[in-house]
Amino acid sequence: MSQQAALEEFRASTKAWLEENFPKSLVGRAMGLEGDADESTKADFELWRQRLADKGWGAPTWAVEFGGAGISHPEAKVIGQEMGKMGAFNPIPMMAGMGVTMVGPTLLEYGTDEQKAKHLRGMASGETRWCLGLSEPGAGSDLASLITKAEDDGDTFKLNGQKTWTSGADISQWCGALVRTDSNAKKRDGISFVMLPMDQEGVSTKPIRLISGASPFCDTFFDDARAEKSDLLGPLNEGWSVVKRLLQHERQSQTQASGSGGGKKTPFQQIAKDYVGVDETGALADGDLRVRLTNHLMDSEAHGLTVSRITAEARGKVEVSAAASILKNSATKIAQGKAELTMELMGSQGVGWEGDNYTKQEIDNVKDWLWGKAISIYGGSFEVQNNIISKNILGLPENTQKG
């Protein structure tokens, strides 16, 4: 059987399994569990999570022993496509916080057998949520300037310091933190990556409110917090190499130009027609907007194809490259451009914040537009990615402070 025929056979079996197992009550619900969901819907959501976990489709490309399904990336893509067609979704990567998309892939590459056995299945099932303690008030884009310390204390490290912009820290069970373990070394040489439980006396969090409303960000404080030495990821004082790889996984997870939430969404072209109107041929009435909308859709499609190509080329390689930086910046421009275009075509309806005069879609887009401004900052700013691209691809000299 050819690879294409095998993939189509897998597609048919995937469609059949989804039709039998995805609760119909969750169709069209954003990730299936808004705050106003009734108890029956919440029960269906938990049932769906469990079915996905049992199938290994929470993190389908991971090995079965780690809670995955051991399938190929093309097969995983088919699962996503078939879910999208019927309004289904995979909530587990979101429920795992930074687990499935960032900590897990890094753990697969750098972790010991004991660490993999201890942590991966909880991520793949969505039962354990992870956050990341990276940025600090004085160490953002220049992450190597961090000052949070981890002192040797027998079988554990004792952590003291503050992390900021820690997404989901207030609802996470575990944290992967970048800490300084040798204050006398050069700033990139004395850093280690440790994993620690959040439910302990020495850890506290404080949510950060954003202009767009609800925020996943927190300040996180370590006051004699404890991390087991067995949860040191990678060699002691070589955490910079670990975190560079982890950040590459983060950028790869941010390369999709549109969200992956559940529900059948109105095509962008149809939204434009609904607000702007059409001419006698059925085309968008505003010619200039039509051209810019077409250019945006072409850029979005080109980005998606490039993601697939680079993913295929990078399969099996663990070295850090500039490819994720290119895709991260490309996704940033597309996501922000779409939000800008949507606000423009909605006109005055595109700037509402609350009230009966605006639909949920209109209000959500304003919040998405505000939230989208952060895309060019988090995960390494747009300018930081350009620096990486200039050095690693164009061969330009180092233009940042060395340390």
Establish if 400 belongs to a structural domain: no
What pLDDT digit, counting tens, does each position of 321-343 carry?
677 778 888 888 998 999 899 98
Establish if 398 belongs to a structural domain: no
Q: Are 256 and 331 in contact (CB under 8 A)?
A: yes
Q: Is the pLDDT higher at 8 or at 40? A: 8
Triad 175, 253, 67: Cα angle to 5°: 65
Instruction: Look at phi and psi of residue 402 and say left if phi exceeds 0, alpha if psi is from -120 to 50, else beta.
Output: beta
d(CA 29, CA 27): 6
What does the mean pLDDT of the chain come to? Answer: 87
Model's pTM, two decimal places? 0.76
SS3 per residue for the chain? CCHHHHHHHHHHHHHHHHHHHCCHHHCCCHHHCCCCCCHHHHHHHHHHHHHHHHHCCCCCCCCHHHCCCCCCHHHHHHHHHHHHHHCCCCCHHHHCECHHHHHHHHHHHHCCHHHHHHHHHHHHHCCCCEEEECCECCECCCHHHCCCEEEEECCEEEEEEEECCCCCHHHCCEEEEEEECCCCCCCCCCEEEEEEECCCCCEEEEECCECCECCCCEEEEEEEEEEEHHHEECCCCEHHHHHHHHHHHHHHHCCCCCCCCCCCCCCHHHHHHHHHCECCCCCECCHHHHHHHHHHHHHHHHHHHHHHHHHHHHCCCCCCCCHHHHHHHHHHHHHHHHHHHHHHHHHHHHHCCCCCCCCHHHHHHHHHHHHHHHHHCCCCCHHHHHHHHHHHCCCCCCCCCCC
Which range of 65-69, 331-335, 359-363 scores highest in mean pLDDT? It is: 65-69
d(CA 108, CA 354): 45
Judge whether residue 9 has pLDDT over 50. yes
d(CA 359, CA 342): 14
What pLDDT digit, counting tens, does each position of 84-134 carry?
888 899 999 999 999 999 999 999 999 999 999 999 999 999 999 999 999
381 & 306 share domain: yes
219 & 159 share domain: yes
Establish if 268 belongs to a structural domain: yes
144 & 226 share domain: yes
Residue 403 confidence (pLDDT): 41
Q: Are 24 and 32 in contact (CB under 8 A)?
A: no
**Whole domain around residue 187: which residue ranges?**
103-239
146 & 233 share domain: yes
Q: Is the pLDDT higher at 261 or at 82? A: 82
What pLDDT digit, counting tens, does each position of 191-237 carry?
999 999 999 999 999 999 877 666 789 999 999 999 999 999 999 99
Q: What are the structure tokens assigned to 315, written together? A: 């399969």
Establish if 200 belongs to a structural domain: yes
132: β partners: 176
Give the residue from 77, 95, 113 where a domain finishes.
95
Establish if 403 belongs to a structural domain: no
Judge whether residue 258 has pLDDT over 50. no
Counted domains in the chain: 3
Judge whether residue 44 has pLDDT over 60. yes
356 & 233 share domain: no
